[in-house]
Amino acid sequence: MFRFLKEKLSKLLKKTEKEIEKAAEAEKEKIEKEREKERKVGVIGKIKKIITLTKLNEEVFEKFFSEFEELLIENNVAIEAIDFLHEKLRKELVGKEIERKKVKEALERSLKEALSSLLLEPFDLIEEIKRSEKPYVIVFFGINGVGKTLTIAKIAKLLKKNKITVVLAASDTFRAAAIEQLEKHSNALNIKMIKHKYGADPAAVAFDAIKHAKARNIDCVLIDTAGRMHTKKDLMEEMKKICKVSKPNLKIFVAESVVGNDAIEQAKAFDEAVGIDCIVLTKFDVDEKGGACISIGYVTNKPILFLGTGQSYDDLKPFNKEEIINALFS
Ligand SMILES: Nc1nc2c(ncn2[C@@H]2O[C@H](COP(=O)(O)OP(=O)(O)OP(=O)(O)O)[C@@H](O)[C@H]2O)c(=O)[nH]1
Ligand SMILES: [Mg+2]
C-alpha cells in the first residue's frame, strides 16, 4: 500500500526542507550584511530569530504543494480531496514560523493533521448491530466482480466471532453459479443461507431471509446482490426494489481500491440511485497506489468501514485513520 506515494513523499519533504533551509540561509546573510552596514542593536534579535526559526513563504509552499499534488494525482487521490488539502495546508503553513532544524517534522505534522481532517471516522458495526433491533439488515451492492460476495463472507465470520447470529440471503439470482458461490461460504462458515432458484426475484429472497431471521431470533441478515453497472437503469431499479422490500438498516457499497477515482464515480452514482451509508474498499492488498482510500470518504461523505486486504476470510481490516496516515510516513 502507498508504495510509490510513500517513497516520493518522503523525498519531497526532504527536498522542501533543504529549500527552506537555503531560503533561511540567504535571509540570514542578508540580515548580517545589513547589520554590518547599520550596526543597529535591534537587528541582533532578528538574526537570532532567523538562526533558530524560519518562515515558510507562499512561493516555497506553492512549489512544495504543486509537487505534492502531482504525487497525489499519480496515486489516485481525487481532485476534490487535493483542493481541501491545499486550502488547509496553505492556511496552516504559509507564514508559519518553524524551528529550522525541524522543518521536515513540522511539514509532516501539518500533513498528518490535514489528512486526519480529510478522512472520515467509521462507526463500530458490531456495536451498532448489538444496540439495534433484531434483525439488523445489511444489503451489499456494487459493480461486477468487486468482491461483494467474499466481503459478505468475511463480515459474516467477523460477526459470528462477536457472537452475532447471521443468516445470508442469496439475492444474486442472476449470475451463473452465484448462489453456489455464496453457499460454499455458508457451508465453510456454518452459517445458514436462504436461496431461491436462478431468475427468482432477488427482493423475494431478501424478504424470506428476513422472515427466517425474525422467526428464529437471528441478529443479522446479510444480503448478497448481483453485480450491476451504475449505468444500467433497469438493474438500478431492481436494486431500489430490494431496498424497498428489505428496508435495510445499512446499505454498504463495495468497490475495488485498485480502480482509484472510478470507485468514487461509482459510489456517487449508487448513492444517487439508492443511497449508500458506508463503503468497503476491497483489494487494498493489490493496490500499490492506495489513493482511493484517502479521498472516497471525503468526496462521497460516506465513511469507509472496512478494507479488504486479501482473499481469505480474515483479510478484512476495520478502516483506521491513524494507521492509514502512519503508513504514509513510515
Ligand atoms: N486480493 C484480493 N482479492 C479479493 C478481495 N476481495 C475479493 N477478492 C477477489 O475478487 C474476486 C471477486 O470476488 P467476489 O466476491 O466474487 O466479487 P463479487 O462482487 O461478488 O462479484 P459478482 O457477484 O460477480 O459481481 C474473487 O476472486 C475474490 O477472491 C480482496 O480484498 N483482495
Ligand atoms: Mg457476488
For residue 42, the model assigns a pLDDT of: 46
How far apart, in Å, are the Cα atoms of 257 and each of 97, 159, 264? 38, 23, 10
- The answer, yes or no, to whether any atom of ligand 1 lies below 6 A from the CB of 146, is yes
Phi, psi (rounded to 5 degrees) for 96: -75, 135
- The answer, yes or no, to whether any atom of ligand 1 lies below 6 A from the CB of 317, is no
Q: C-alpha cell of 190?
A: 456454518
- Determine the 3-state secondary structure of 68 from DSSP: helix
For residue 51, the model assigns a pLDDT of: 52
- The C-alpha atoms of residue 261 and residue 76 are separated, in whole angstroms, by 6
301 CA to centre of ligand 1 in angstroms: 25
Q: Where are the beta strands (DSSP E) in 82-156?
A: 97-99, 136-141
- The C-alpha atoms of residue 95 and residue 78 are separated, in whole angstroms, by 27
Return the CA Rg of the chain: 26
Residues 3-118: name the CATH superfamily. SRP54, nucleotide-binding domain (1.20.120.140)
54 CA to centre of ligand 1 in angstroms: 51
Enumerate the domain spans of the chain.
3-118, 125-319
* 133-167 burial: b if 16+ Cβ within 10 Å, else e: eebbbbbbbbbeebbbbbbbbbbbbbbeeeebbbb
Domains 3-118 and 125-319 share a fold: no
Q: Which amino acid is at 207?
A: F
- Of residues 30, 24, 86, the one with CA closest to residue 55: 24
199 CA to centre of ligand 2 in angstroms: 15
- Determine the 3-state secondary structure of 325 from DSSP: helix
- Which overall architecture, per CATH, does domain 125-319 show? 3-Layer(aba) Sandwich (3.40)
198 CA to centre of ligand 1 in angstroms: 20
State which residues of the chain have pLDDT below 70: 36-53
The residue whose CA has the least distance to atom 8 of ligand 1 is 147
Within 10 angstroms of residue 73's Cβ, the number of other Cβ atoms is 14
Q: Where are the beta strands (DSSP E) in the chain?
A: 53-55, 97-99, 136-141, 166-171, 192-194, 220-225, 250-256, 278-282, 304-308, 316-318
Q: Which amino acid is at 134?
A: K
- The answer, yes or no, to whether any atom of ligand 1 lies below 6 A from the CB of 116, is no
Within a 13 Å sphere around the CA of 36, how many CA atoms are in the beta-carbon half?
5
Q: Positive or negative, the Cα torsion across 112, 113, 118, 122?
A: positive
